[in-house]
Amino acid sequence: MTAPRTINTVTARDGTLLHFTDWGHGQPVVFSHGWPLSADAWEDQMLFLADHGYRVIAHDRRGHGRSSQPWHGNDMDTYADDLATLLDTLDVTGAILVGHSTGGGEVARYIGRHGTNRVSKAVLVGAVTPQMVVSPANPDGVPLSVFDGIRAGVQADRAQFFYDLSTPFYNFNRDGAKVSEGMRLSFLRQGLQCSLKSAYACIKQFSETDFTEDLKKMSIPTLVVHGDDDQIVPIATTARRAVEILPQGRLSVYEGASHGLPATHKDKLNAELLAFLRG
């Protein structure tokens, strides 16, 4: 039995309402966004692909954007199960899953828990896979103190923290960068739509979760896209390791690109996504 839905929400198993956008017609491309954003972070890719004959679907993760803000369920397994609810309710088949940052982990965990019956390909963009934090299995990872600092910033003044974070997120602190104040304000707007509880809890999920076993189960063609100047999710401990684990992974490195490359390098990413989808 599929979950109840309205024109733009589906209901998770615990009653959480998940808002989604569904545009166009054709083979479905389903997007999972990064922290602390919403489905709006994918608007450039969605408009482009819908104009090129694809059905594009993106949901706001629980606690983020226009979805409900529950106290419980802010964990990677539940995020993956929510994605399964979306695909099952909309009866999506043959989908290409595209995940950015935390959303890349969500895509990997979805396949790890639910398989590939509804999925034909996947794309991981600036993804946190296989693991961000330093650990015995990831000795070159990011120190836990960095994520403790993020937690402290979110608790102290999350509006200012999100606004400040947008600078390294888009590499606006690099020499010669053309700063978009609108892009920074959009990041802030989306971040503040996220509940404080969900924003805080998700930090542990994107930093500490080990997706190694999930990546091993991704037996479908998988494109890994990453900027080599990503200041948020370092390429050396994520994308370069992920392609060594993925059964059919291929790495595409964007020279000088930031973590926010779906916005800063949208034309390049759009063209590469279209080629991958058609290939």
101 a catalytic residue: yes
Question: Taking the CB of residue 136, how many other CB atoms lie within 10 A of it?
Answer: 5
Which helix (H) or strand (E) segment holds residue 227: the answer is strand 222-227
Which helix (H) or strand (E) segment holds residue 124: the answer is strand 119-125
230 a catalytic residue: yes
Residue type, 223: L
CB distance 122 to 220 below 8 Å: yes
Q: In whole angstroms, what is the distance from residue 251 CA to residue 240 CA?
A: 7
Terminal C-alpha separation, the chain: 34
Which helix (H) or strand (E) segment holds residue 150: the answer is helix 144-169
Question: Taking the CB of residue 101, how many other CB atoms lie within 10 A of it?
Answer: 29
252 a catalytic residue: no
- Choosing from 59, 226, 259, 265, which is the catalytic residue? 259
- Choosing from 67, 101, 195, 258, which is the catalytic residue? 101
Question: Taking the CB of residue 214, how many other CB atoms lie within 10 A of it?
Answer: 22
The SS3 assignment for 225 reads strand
- Choosing from 67, 230, 258, 265, which is the catalytic residue? 230
- Annotated catalytic sites, by residue? 101, 230, 259
